[in-house]
A = this chain, B = another copy of it.
Amino acid sequence: MGRRPRHSKEDFQAIALAAAQAIIAEEGLQSLNVRAVAARMGCSVGTIYNIFEGIEELVALVNGETLDALYDALSQAPVTGSPERDLHVLLDLYLKFVTERKSSWNLLFEERLPEAKEPPAWYFEKIAQLFTLLTRILKPVFRPDQKEELAHAVRLLWISLHGVWSLNARGHLPIVSGDPLETVAHSMVDTYLAGLRARASDG
């Protein structure tokens, strides 16, 4: 038989991931490219393409870690039974995370999923995991039998907040609102929650 791989594919991917994270932390997003990752790993660019289909796959891994780290940061938030209060606490942890890990965070918004291709399965899982945090906070707004309504509300709230993060990440937020990021995010949550309560009491 032939030559055995020095590292398994998974090992190599982990090393590449660490290298990418180091570059992002030390040099910023604009320095994240194949040659920089290869140099930091101590291998050639060709090896990167042995491990990954392309740079996008590595970026997806980095974004996966960002989502995990976000979950870790947000899961500290308490659930008191008051959605308003809980959401505000969650939001502040969120904003702290965005501020502290600005580059990684922005990378999430650079990613462009190819038209034809399905997003990777673990992407769905990580988002679902984050959704559970919102779900348990919003639970008191709904009756126990309104499972689907609750899930629906979580999705919409997520998307609304994504509007804020997205505009902010691309520098467009000042075009839309003169208020700072925190203010906009808090207003968003308050209004949305009021809407949920109103629709819930309607039926």
User: A residues near B, CB below 8 A?
Assistant: 109, 111-115, 119, 123-124, 127, 152-153, 155-156, 158-164, 166-167, 170-172, 174-177, 184, 187-188, 190-199, 202
Contacts and interface: CB of A to CB of B under 8 A. Distances in A.
Number of copies of this kind of chain in the complex: 2
A203 to B, nearest CB: 12
Contacts of A109: 170
B188 A194 contact: no
Contacts of A162: 163, 166-167, 176
A128 to B, nearest CB: 9
Contacts of A196: 191, 194-195
Given A163-B160, A188-B156, A190-B199, A171 B127 contact: no
A171 to B, nearest CB: 4
Contacts of A166: 162-163, 166
